[in-house]
């Protein structure tokens, strides 16, 4: 989980929102010392911490409520998705 959080933090530092975080988009390589990578950047959007996105994207089971409601979303929507699939 810490590697996923670091990857997401890096994306957000670059002001990029993944917008489709889900287990299928997490790659794990190796068993003894696994390396975790984020994948599928087809929905990535340039966003500042203050900006919002209005297009509905993501996977229904993991998408933030504001996206489902067709309301503007922000980088925090990725955090919701991360928590949703870690439960």
Catalytic residue of the set 20, 32, 40, 78:
20
Q: What is the pTM of this model?
A: 0.80
Q: Could you tell me which residues come within 8 angstroms of residue 10 by beta carbon, excluding any fewer than 6 positions away?
A: none
Looking at 1-87, list the stretches that DSSP marks H as alpha helix, in order from N- to C-terminal side: 2-13, 65-68, 76-86
Q: What is the CATH number of domain 2-86?
A: 1.10.510.10
Stretch 59-69: mean pLDDT, rounded? 85
Average pLDDT score, the chain:
87
- Please report which confidence band the pLDDT of residue 67 belongs to, taking 50, 70 and 90 as the band edges: confident
The predicted-structure confidence for 19-51, as pLDDT tens digits, reads as follows 899 999 999 999 899 999 999 999 898 876 655
Q: What pairs with residue 37 in β-bridges?
A: 27
Q: How far apart are CA 3 and CA 51, in angstroms?
A: 26
* Burial of 8: CB neighbours in 10 Å, binned 0-12, 13-18, 19+: buried
User: Would residue 20 show up in a list of annotated catalytic residues for this protein?
Assistant: yes
């Amino acid at each position: 989980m810490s590697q996923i959080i670091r990857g997401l933090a890096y994306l957000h530092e670059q002001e990029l929102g993944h917008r489709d975080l889900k287990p299928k988009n997490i790659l794990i390589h190796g068993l003894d010392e696994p390396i975790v990578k984020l994948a599928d950047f087809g929905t990535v959007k340039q966003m500042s911490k203050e900006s919002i996105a209005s297009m509905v994207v993501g996977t229904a089971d993991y998408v933030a409520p504001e996206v489902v409601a067709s309301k503007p979303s922000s980088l925090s929507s990725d955090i919701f998705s991360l928590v949703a699939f870690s439960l």
